[in-house]
Amino acid sequence: MVNKCYPSATAAVGDIGDGATIMFGGFGFCGIPDRLIEALARRGVKNLTGISNNCGLGGRGVDILVRNRQIRKMVATFPAQRERTPFEEQYLAGQVELELVPQGTFAERIRAGGAGVGGFYTRTGVGTPLAEGKERRVIAGEEYVLEFPLRADFALIHAYRGDPYGNLIYRGTARNFGPEMATAADVTIAEVEELVEVGELNPEAVITPGIYVDRIVAVGRAP
Amino acid sequence: MRGGLTRQEIAKRAAQELREGMYVNLGMGIPTLVTRCIPTGLTVFLQSEHGILGLGPPPPPGQEDPDFADASRMPVTVIPGASLFSSAESFAMIRGRHLDMTILGAFQVSARGDLANWMVPERGVGSIGGAMDLVYGARRVVVTMEHVTKDGNPRIVERCSYPLTGRECVDLIVTDLAVIEVGNDGLVLKEVAPGETPQEVQAKTGAKLALSPELREIRV
């Protein structure tokens, strides 16, 4: 019987090596794959490229990896917070790289990466520094820029409930980038608060179909 | 009375732009305050770019749910009839021009409606979030901000010196001193704060203002 369950977060990230490109779900503090990131921190792998909306904050999420100096580069939409973060310090000191992406372009590039779309034209960014060096095209009288897909070696995401086939549902604003990231990595690892039996999830309610998920690990609900 | 509008009053004036049934995204800062200024009886659907249509008020103390937060990481509720979705869906909504309006903060707005609101060059790093998508996606872009910087320099300028968020995208500017429309031929002063004169507002503005024939005092 197909069973994508792993016994622990540590086991689930056990083959992530130095230099890997990794998508991390989460927006602010919602939907961060905390247990998987902690396991990655313990593993101590280096020179990682992270693809994540934020670059970590308050000792959670990517912030742990940044403080550990495991990150070489981030692709992100919101790296600078009101308060100065370790990522910002390292970036300004020239110790990490940053590719800044508007959030809709970020989400769509990931969607394209997972859907086999080779690129797309968008108005977002036209006339700004972010359009510099990008191919432009006028479509129906409006200017667009060409954006390319984003893919990763691994995607680490957090979901509310999942089953051994990898079907997932999310809760509230913790969904954010999870469904798209799940489609855009060679290996997608989902931590779920509750693991249920095959058949328990209503097929009408499944958000991420199991085909996109390679590994699943139950981590319980955060206190 | 002098001194211009408070931040809350700027939000209240911006809220007067809302109409029944509108779908609206509110940015950080003063726009967040608009949530509390929606006239009673008006149904407006607030969109949050990380996946809510139908953002509600903050929960009562002790009932915060870590899975329900707004874009500023503050706990929120959702209204009855709300929907939840992924970020890609959310930005398809935004970029596909389905939103009626966005209300955003700004560092600078130019005479032709260019907006700069994501990076102060001296800091060396900025955050874009959803702003670049919203300015071209929403059908109407309203900016709320203080009229001048802390040092007294105009934020409404001939050309933005800060990196742009979008080109020729702003429709209306609401500040503590004035309400200004971005017209085809430049900026039009529509309303001035109580106690302010058009001449005083012009003196604190870095671009030429035309006076609206219906120029009046801001009422909040």
Residue range B54-109, pLDDT digits in tens: 999 899 999 999 999 988 889 999 999 999 999 999 999 999 999 999 999 999 99
| Closest residue, chain B, to A160 (C-alpha) | B67
Under 8 Å between Cβ of A74 and A50: yes
Instruction: Look up residue B77 and give its amino acid.
Output: T
Under 8 Å between Cβ of B86 and A104: no
Q: What length does chain A have?
A: 223
Q: Is residue B81 part of a domain?
A: no
Identify the burial level of B203 via C-beta atoms within 10 angstroms of its C-beta, where 0-12 means exposed, 13-18 middle and 19 or more buried.
exposed
Q: What percent of chain B is modeled with pLDDT above 70? A: 99
Q: Please report the pLDDT score of residue A91 as a whole number.
A: 97
**Contact yes or no for B51 and A179 at CB 8 A:** no
- Tell me which residue in A98, A125, A173 faces B132 most closely, judged by beta carbons: A125
The catalytic residue positions of B are 49
Q: What length does chain B have?
A: 220
Q: Is residue A9 part of a domain?
A: no
d(CA A57, CA B18): 34
| Closest residue, chain B, to A222 (C-alpha) | B66
Range A186-208 average pLDDT: 98
**Contact yes or no for B128 and A130 at CB 8 A:** yes
Phi/psi of residue B200, nearest 5 degrees:
-65, -40
- Token match 């939907």: residue? A31
Q: Is residue A12 part of a domain?
A: no
Where residue A222 falls among pLDDT bands split at 50, 70, 90? confident
Question: Is residue B133 less than 8 Å (CB to CB) from chain A?
Answer: yes
Q: Is residue A48 part of a domain?
A: yes
d(CA A216, CA A191): 6
Q: Please report the pLDDT score of residue B72 as a whole number.
A: 86
| Closest residue, chain A, to B48 (C-alpha) | A173
Single out the residue of B148, B190, B140 nearest to residue B169, CA to CA: B140
Q: Please report the pLDDT score of residue A28 as a whole number.
A: 92
**Contact yes or no for A78 and B129 at CB 8 A:** yes
Q: Is residue A1 part of a domain?
A: no
Q: Which residues of chain A have a CB within 8 Å of the CB of B127? A: 77-81
Which residues have a Cβ under 8 Å from the Cβ of A151 and sit 6 or more positions away?
A21, A113, A114, A184, A185, A186
Q: Is residue A38 part of a domain?
A: yes
d(CA A65, CA A90): 12
Q: Is residue A214 part of a domain?
A: yes
Q: Please report the pLDDT score of residue B71 as a whole number.
A: 87
**How far is the CA of A6 from the CAs of A43, A44, A70, A162, B128, in angstroms?**
16, 20, 24, 13, 37
Q: Is residue A108 part of a domain?
A: no
Range A177-185 average pLDDT: 98
Which residues have a Cβ under 8 Å from the Cβ of A87 and sit 6 or more positions away?
A55, A56, A62, A63, A66, A71, A74, A79, A96
Q: Please report the pLDDT score of residue B115 as a whole number.
A: 98
Q: Chain A 105-144, CB below 8 Å of chain B: which residues?
A: 105-108, 110-111, 122-130
Q: Please report the pLDDT score of residue B3 as a whole number.
A: 72
Q: Which residues of chain B have a CB within 8 Å of the CB of A27? A: 50, 71, 87
Range B193-201 average pLDDT: 96
Where residue B1 falls among pLDDT bands split at 50, 70, 90? very low
For residue A89, what is the domain's CATH number? 3.40.1080.10
Neighbours of A128 (CB within 10 A): 22
Instruction: Compute the mean pLDDT over every residue in chain B, rounded to the nearest whole number.
Output: 96
pLDDT at residue B184 is higher than 50: yes
3-class secondary structure per residue, A160-220: EEECCCCCEECCHHHCCCHHHHCCCEEEEEEEEEEECCCCCCCCCCCCECHHHCCEEEECC
Q: Is residue A75 part of a domain?
A: yes
Domain count, chain B: 1
Distance from CA of B71 to the nearest CA of A (A): 7
Residue B137, classed as helix, strand or coil, is helix
For B29-59, the pLDDT digits (tens) are: 899 999 989 999 999 999 999 999 999 989 9
Distance from CA of A1 to the nearest CA of B (A): 31
Question: Is residue B82 less than 8 Å (CB to CB) from chain A?
Answer: no
**Contact yes or no for A180 and B86 at CB 8 A:** yes
Residue A188, classed as helix, strand or coil, is strand
Instruction: Look up residue B41 and give its amino acid.
Output: G
**Contact yes or no for A207 and B86 at CB 8 A:** yes
d(CA B199, CA B204): 9
**Contact yes or no for A104 and B51 at CB 8 A:** no
| Closest residue, chain A, to B77 (C-alpha) | A172
Q: What is the DSSP string of A13-30?
A: TTT--TT-EEEE--BTTB
Domain count, chain A: 1
Q: Residue B94's domain spans which residues?
A: 7-33+87-217
Q: Please report the pLDDT score of residue A82 as a whole number.
A: 85
For A117-175, the pLDDT digits (tens) are: 999 999 999 999 999 999 999 999 999 999 999 999 999 999 999 999 999 999 999 99
* A–B interface: beta-carbon pairs under 8 A: 138
- Token match 């939409």: residue? A77
Number of helices followed by number of strands (H, E) in chain A: 6, 11
For residue B11, what is the domain's CATH number? 3.40.1080.10
pLDDT at residue A21 is higher than 90: yes
Q: Is residue B70 part of a domain?
A: no
- Tell me which residue in A77, A175, A176 faces B128 most closely, judged by beta carbons: A77
Q: Which residues of chain B have a CB within 8 Å of the CB of A129? A: 163-164
DSSP designation for B118: S
Q: Please report the pLDDT score of residue B150 as a whole number.
A: 93
Neighbours of B80 (CB within 10 A): 6
**Contact yes or no for A30 and B126 at CB 8 A:** no
Range B181-194 average pLDDT: 97
Residue A204, classed as helix, strand or coil, is coil
